[in-house]
Amino acid sequence: MNADPDQYGVVGHPVGHSRSPFIHGLFARQTQQNMVYRLYDVAPADFRIKVAEFFAAGGCGLNVTVPHKVAAAEFASELTPRAERAGAVNTLARQGDKVLGDNTDGAGLVRDLLTNLDVQVAGTRVLILGAGGASRGVIAPLLELAPSELVVANRTADKARDLVSLFSDLGNVRGCGFEDLPLRAFDLVINATSAGLGGGVPKVSEVVVGPATVCYDMSYGRADTPFVRWAWDRGCARAVQGWGMLVEQAAESFQLWRGVRPDTGPVLRVLESTAP
């Protein structure tokens, strides 16, 4: 008689658009894991109690997405070094009577850039748009690749400056407001804002994008995202959505939960071809 499947899921608000159940379903079949993965739409005010209920009922692990990544770091009873550095968590894993918090976003982004997309980061000028939970997880891994400069720009300049102060020991990083960006092109521009969910783009000068710029949107969709369209319209060299990051960070989470790393290539190809 088969045992009941282990319980996993993703918690966010909203979360109905998430492709994580599809991805983890493919991972589970590929690696023959007995598990189910569900969506949990939880408002910020209910996050702590709903997540506690999930684990108390025997749940094994959760992915965490907007807007709960900082709250998840506060919820976890222990953090991995990369989650502690980020101050944000996108993966929760029950380990005995504790809940471990990890952040796989940066590893997922770096693997997508370097392995899937063959993008050079060392020695380049990198711009991250947005200073929220999505940015927190990727700054340290990007700085470890030794860009010549990393700038985090945000609608509220103080929030960007406060965020980068946590990483100033890792490299040449600074924060500023959108309106304070230097008027020259960056080599890599990463959109970590949620503006695209409302059909918008960050309000930055178009001169940050040049003919050699690679533009990367952490968001994704079947059609080009608003940021990707904006980037193409400004003559960038390349503009890509965050499908690869989504799959690669999911694989990192899956490995933490199940002790086996799935092959991401086939899953990414299926995902891109079947995206809604």
pLDDT at 1: 46
Look at the pTM and tell me if it is higher than 0.85. Answer: yes
pLDDT at 276: 54
Burial class (CB in 10 A: 0-12, 13-18, 19+), 141: buried
pLDDT at 275: 62
Q: Catalytic annotation on 50?
A: no
pLDDT at 244: 96
Angle of helix 243-258 versus helix 264-274 axis, rounded to 10: 130
**Catalytic option among 69, 98, 159, 203:** 69
Burial class (CB in 10 A: 0-12, 13-18, 19+), 29: exposed
pLDDT at 97: 93
Centroid of chain to Cα 275: 18
| Residues with pLDDT less than 50, the chain | 1
CA distances from 184 to 6, 134, 189, 212, 213 (A): 51, 24, 12, 12, 11
pLDDT at 273: 78
Burial class (CB in 10 A: 0-12, 13-18, 19+), 187: buried
pLDDT at 223: 86
Query: Which residues neighbour 147 within 8 Å (Cβ) at sequence distance 6 or greater?
Result: 121, 122, 123, 124, 125, 126, 171, 172, 188
